[in-house]
Amino acid sequence: MITVIIPVYNVQDYLARCVDSVLSQSYRELEIILVDDGSTDGSGAMCDDYASRDNRIVVVHKANGGLSDARNAGLDVMRGDYVTFVDADDYIHPQFAQVLLDAITRSGAQIAVCRWQELNDGQSPRPVAAGGNELVTFTQEAAINSVFYQRELTHSACSRLFAASIFSDIRFPVGKLYEDLAVIYPILKKVETVVLAKPAMYYYMHRPGSIITTMSLSRAHVLEHLELLEEQVSCEAPQYLPAVCSRHMSACFNMLRLMPLGDPAWAPVKEHCWQYIKNMRKLCITDRKVRFKNKIAIVLSYFGIDFLLLIINKNRLKR
């Protein structure tokens, strides 16, 4: 059985598309857990209506606690041998579950990943290419490096199928953004291999008002996660420290690019990012695995923070 956990919070305009895409899976042995995270629109009632029509659906109603808390609530009651997460404003291809389960069966991996398509509201996904059953297998070391050097694998919990046993002692951090980044290293430490299936079968929606499109100081949680992770790997697995530093550097550049210009509330974040860039740029620029665009930003940083901000915010300043 595959458990599909869908956190639901005030998404009544998107929920039907998401749940219908799960109900339409060619693989039928599903447990679908809809976690109503204290919705104040009609989402909770929609969950109950779906459950009344399909006995594979379980509904959990709870007080609002955020995405991590909702996912954890699903993990606490799941019964499947495998588990996947689908955000309620996203949706999946009809072959999503079957292809990922087949990938695990063929490879013996504990995690199967597919690519995703990023879509705007009203945009239709590209057709999935026929015959795209090629698999790429990553060892644990290769998977960790790929995630933190931001290569083929990402830190997202979506677009993948996990052996449920992985989450026996792992939960998402409640009240924090970038919750996937906080757990990806503990997850990968528990597996021997990860397999990538080439088709892009997860449809990631960019929608106005979503967490990821709203700029708030909570977005700086990514820096907290990476600081803690650097401390952890430096003690127990220093071979991964350059990769984690690369990801931290990338996050610093991204924060400087996205933060409101001139807002004093963001001054501590700006200072953290700048100090980290100055301290770690020599290590990162000499690392052959660091992404080229990050190396360009590192070179720009040697001209000072004002010049760096001017260049990386060039398009925003024009508007």
Give the model's pLDDT for residue 178: 94
Instruction: Give the per-residue pLDDT at 121.
Output: 82
Determine the structural domain holding residue 196 and report its residue range. 2-211
Residues 164 and 235 in one domain: no
* Predicted confidence pLDDT, tens digits, the chain (319 residues): 999 999 999 999 999 999 999 999 999 999 999 999 999 999 999 999 999 999 999 999 999 999 999 999 999 999 999 999 999 999 999 999 999 999 999 999 999 999 999 998 888 999 886 555 789 999 999 999 999 999 999 999 999 999 999 999 999 999 999 999 999 999 999 999 999 998 999 999 987 655 555 568 889 999 999 999 999 999 999 999 999 999 999 999 999 999 987 889 999 999 999 999 999 999 999 999 999 999 999 999 999 999 999 998 875 544 4
251 and 170, same structural domain? no
Enumerate the β-bridge partners of residue 114: 197
CATH of the domain at 7: 3.90.550.10
Tokens 């399909």: give the residue: 54
Q: Which residues contact 111 (CB under 8 A, 6 or more apart)?
A: 104, 143, 160, 161, 162, 163, 166, 187, 191, 194, 195
The pLDDT score that the predictor gives to residue 221 is: 94
- Residue 10 has φ and ψ, to the nearest 5°, of 50, 55
Return d(Cα 59, Cα 81) in angstroms, integer: 19
User: In terms of domains, do 64 and 124 share one?
Assistant: yes
Its pTM stands at 0.93
Boundary (domain end) residue, out of 211, 237, 253: 211
Integer angstrom CA distances of residue 193 from 81, 169, 247:
17, 19, 21
Last residue of a domain, one of 191, 211, 231: 211
Do 43 and 180 lie in a common domain?
Answer: yes
- State the number of CA atoms in the 13 A half-sphere of 159 facing the CB: 24
Nearest to 144 by CA among 238, 279, 263: 238
Residues 138 and 190 in one domain: yes
According to DSSP, the residues that pair with 202 across neighbouring strands are: 92, 116
145/255 same-domain check? no
CA distance 254 to 77: 36
Domains identified in the chain, total number: 2
- End position of a domain, from candidates 189, 211, 233: 211
| Same domain flag for 148 and 272 | no
186 lies in the same domain as 123: yes
Residues 56 and 172 in one domain: yes
Within 10 angstroms of residue 137's Cβ, the number of other Cβ atoms is: 15
Answer yes or no: do 299 and 226 share one domain: yes
Domain identity same for 223 and 302: yes
Q: Are residues 160 and 48 in the same domain?
A: yes
Q: What Å distances lie between residue 227 and 186, 222, 251, 259, 262, CA to CA?
A: 15, 9, 11, 19, 25
